Amino acid sequence: MKKLAVVAFGGNALLQAGQKGTIEDQEKNAYEASKQLLNLLKRNYNIVISHGNGPQVGNILLSDQAGTQVHGLPSMPLDICVAYSQGFIGYIIEQQLRNVLAANDMDRDIMSIITMVLVNKDDPAFQNPTKPIGPYYSQEDAEKIMKDTGAKFKEDKKRGGWRKVVASPRPLVISNKKSIEQLARSGQIVIAVGGGGIPAFYVAPNKLQGIDAVIDKDLASALLAKQIGADKLFILTDVPKVCLNYNTPQEKTIDRMTIADARKYLSDGQFAEGSMAPKIRAAVDFVENTGKDAIITKTTLLGIDDGGTRIVMV
């Protein structure tokens, strides 16, 4: 019987630092990321892919603001921007993954599922935005935008710049999870919970409504992996392994980490919010609730023996 893996691509798998973000850039990046999935397919895994959207949804908001200011078009709320990003990112991943499969004489159906995720409208995250989206700005430019628009920005000292931050509530219920599991276990490649899912809540009994937020894609991926009985969770980022004392002379990579170790490192402030910290929390959540391993690594090391940091129960 084939194993089932959830693979969470970071937003940088499609749009990397320093790139303008053209569709050509994102297609090329998606092709390279998709090639790494072959390692899992050849190891007898069925796959569900999730993906980040931080850079892309920020760019969608910038385009939306320009349309509103220049042409008087109605502004799109953040949940609609997330849905927008799910559609076009899913399309790019599907297109390039089909190219990869064809080049390797493999045939699978690939489908993107626009995925809504329920959140609590009273989640404390709405009072303390932490999720970075969009491009990096200088402090001067960030302060001007904050003054002009009321948006909130925070500095990322390790990466050198300021980014807009929005609420990131905890995901509670993933829509269509039964169908996602059935499709994946039947051998189809499914793309789901893109950007953490489209955030929604019940404004009244039996009445759903979107809400301004971007759910962390790693937490949503861990929740999906739990709910579909995945055998492994892969969280992909831009470093080969999790590091202690990151970007300092004392930096040290970690090959294996228990959930007890992970909690201690989190409490010690080893991992930055909006960066590695949510990945560690997502991995801990999956491992603690399933007893199965999670791996955090770079896209190019996906499915490679000893690649990445393995998070385990004990």
10 vs 2: CA distance, rounded Å = 25
Is 11 in the active site?
A: yes
Residue 247 CB neighbour total at 10 angstroms: 11
**Six-digit token pair at 74?**
């109605």
The contacts of residue 1 (CB under 8 Å, 6+ apart) are none
* Distance in angstroms between the alpha carbons of the first and the last residue of the chain: 26
CA nearest to 36, candidates 26, 25, 47: 47
Catalytic residue among 10, 12, 29, 46: 12
Note if 217 is an active site residue.
yes
Q: Which two tokens stand for residue 141?
A: 């430019």
Catalytic: which of 10, 52, 59, 131?
Answer: 131
Q: What is the Cα Rg of the chain in Å?
A: 19
Alpha carbon of 178 to those of 175, 183, 210, 225, 288: distances in Å? 8, 9, 22, 12, 22
- Residue 175 DSSP symbol: T
279 is catalytic: yes
Single out the residue of 84, 77, 76 nearest to residue 112, CA to CA.
Answer: 84
Residue listed under structure tokens 């999906």: 224
Contact of 287 with 227, CB cutoff 8 Å? no
**104 included as an active-site residue:** no
Q: Determine which one of 35, 164, 217, 232 is catalytic.
A: 217
What is the rounded CA–CA span in Å between residue 265 and residue 113? 35
**Active-site choice (35, 232, 241, 279):** 279
28 is catalytic: no
Q: Which residue has the tokens 């899913």?
A: 90
How does strand 309-312 pair with strand 294-298? antiparallel
**Marked catalytic residue, from 11, 195, 197, 307:** 11
d(CA 194, CA 184): 16
Could you give the residue numbers annotated as active site? 11-12, 131, 217, 279
